[in-house]
Structure 1
Amino acid sequence: MNDQAVDRAGKHDCATLSDAMDRLGIEGVCRGIKPRDHAFRLCGRAFTVRYIPIDVLAPGNVGDFVDDLPAGTVVVLDNRGREDCTVWGDIMTQLASHKGLAGTVIDGACRDVDLCLKLGYPIYSRSYSMKTGKDRVQVDATGVTVEIGGALVRPGDILVGDADGVVVIPSERADEVLALADEIATAENAIREAISQGMSLRDARAKFRYHSLQTRRP
């Protein structure tokens, strides 16, 4: 099914989307979450998972949720920034790639990085390591609001990732964020064209109101 908001978001880089959200006063940057390959790019709607430390009295599992996800989904895993154990590895990467998921975003660590690089499957995480999350963490809930690098992510929010990191666009504000992103991108492209034609950077920025593009407005 065509998702016009996702298609529009995918045409912008994270810097432009971040600038648009700055102007609206939205905290959309997932701080500290970086791509395992700078060539990776992702864009899609979030499926969220929250992890907690293992309950020794009633242990759960790390989750088989990938089985049920449709193509184009971004898997968003909140492991509270833990870097001492992983919540995503090669088997999940293989299945996610096969199913055509848009990528995985983790506030925590992944492992088996070589396979995501080989398959070109986008993984964004706080770090990577090799120690399993089995018997250390378990799924607490899916389809709930989670926190990724200081930004709240709810089911259905739009995530965009590129070489700079990941931003999250609240679904109910997507239209206004994307309208501003279009405006900012148009102005910045005009500045680039003007300086390529010999205009000074100072004059080009003044002409196209560069210094007010990201300024929050009352």
Structure 2
Amino acid sequence: MNEMIGQLGNLYTGAVADTLDELGYHEQCLPSDIRPLADTMKVAGPVYTVLGKPRHYDDGVDPRYRQMDMLDAIPSNSVIVVEPGNESSAAHWGELMTNTALQRGAKGIVINGGLRDSLQILDVGFPAFRKYHSPLTAAYRWNIDSFNIPIKVGNVTIEPGDYVLGDIDGVLIIPQAIIKEVVEQTVAVVGKEDVVRASLQEGGNIRELFEEYKVF
């Protein structure tokens, strides 16, 4: 697994998206407003899913215990992907959750929702992708419903164990069943792109290079 994570992490989303298209997987990109906390942040690894729902009333149970259950179950080397389920005011992730996830060996977090404690997360260098920022705690506004189950983020259905790759251009989900094929095919394409790029920088003709390498 570590080798696969490393190979995937050396790629970039544009090249992987092209490979997914070639293989007939056209709906693998998460919503385009999910952005990295810093432009240089990149995340790659198998997915650990989290599904939540709005908390409209106090049922007498502190939802933070459920958050701790979720954190305790994070597999090492995984990327946490959170679907907050129509709750759009609170921060669904913060500094202490980040430090706990780091203890568990997580590679990063992708949230179709809110983030807070941004400077502290930047300080520890934890790759975080989010839709918006909010200072509001989730404790009174949001419950974790389930984790490590199939979820849907935007138009993308995500199974636990699928792979995620995120960078400044967006976030992709790669089904576990095709991860090896996607990585191998993309590595080959990137190698051709490197040759074409070098040739262009030396005055090569894009039409001639395209006919030879079929990348553009």
* 1:188 partner SS: helix
Structure 1 match to 2:192: 187
- Supply the RMSD in Å over aligned alpha carbons: 1.9
Percent of pairs with identical residues: 25
Q: Does 1:28 align with 2:28?
A: yes
> Which AA in structure 1 matches 2:94?
G
> Which AA in structure 1 matches 2:63?
N
Structure 2 match to 1:84: 89
CA apart distance, 1:101: 1.5
CA apart distance, 1:103: 0.3
User: Aligned match of 2:210 in 196, 202, 205?
Assistant: 205
Q: Does 1:156 align with 2:155?
A: no
Alignment of 1:1-218 (within 5 A): 2-26=1-25, 27-31=27-31, 32-54=33-55, 56=57, 58=59, 61-62=63-64, 63-64=67-68, 65-80=70-85, 82-210=87-215
The separation in 1 between residues aligned to 2:214 and 2:183, in whole angstroms, is 19
2:58 touches 2:140 (CA, 8 Å); kept in 1? no
2:76 touches 2:106 (CA, 8 Å); kept in 1? yes
The separation in 1 between residues aligned to 2:18 and 2:143, in whole angstroms, is 36
The separation in 2 between residues aligned to 1:86 and 1:209, in whole angstroms, is 45
**Count of aligned positions:** 210
The separation in 2 between residues aligned to 1:57 and 1:125, in whole angstroms, is 27
2:84 touches 2:113 (CA, 8 Å); kept in 1? yes
CA apart distance, 1:82: 3.9
* 2:137 partner SS: coil
Unaligned runs of 5+ in 2: none
> Which AA in structure 2 matches 1:109?
G
Distance of aligned partners of 1:70 and 1:141 in 2 relative to their CA distance in 1, 3 Å threshold: closer
Stretches (4+) displaced over 6 A: none
2:51 touches 2:147 (CA, 8 Å); kept in 1? yes
Unaligned runs of 5+ in 1: 212-218
CA apart distance, 1:145: 1.1
CA apart distance, 1:210: 2.1
Q: Deviations over 1:12-60 (max 9, x none)?
A: 1111111111112212111221101011111111111100122647556
* 2:112 partner SS: strand
The separation in 1 between residues aligned to 2:123 and 2:105, in whole angstroms, is 15
1:87 touches 1:132 (CA, 8 Å); kept in 2? yes
Deviates more, 1:195-204 or 1:7-16: 195-204
* 1:167 partner SS: strand
1:90 touches 1:116 (CA, 8 Å); kept in 2? yes
* 2:113 partner SS: strand
1:60 touches 1:139 (CA, 8 Å); kept in 2? no
CA apart distance, 1:178: 1.6
CA apart distance, 1:70: 3.6
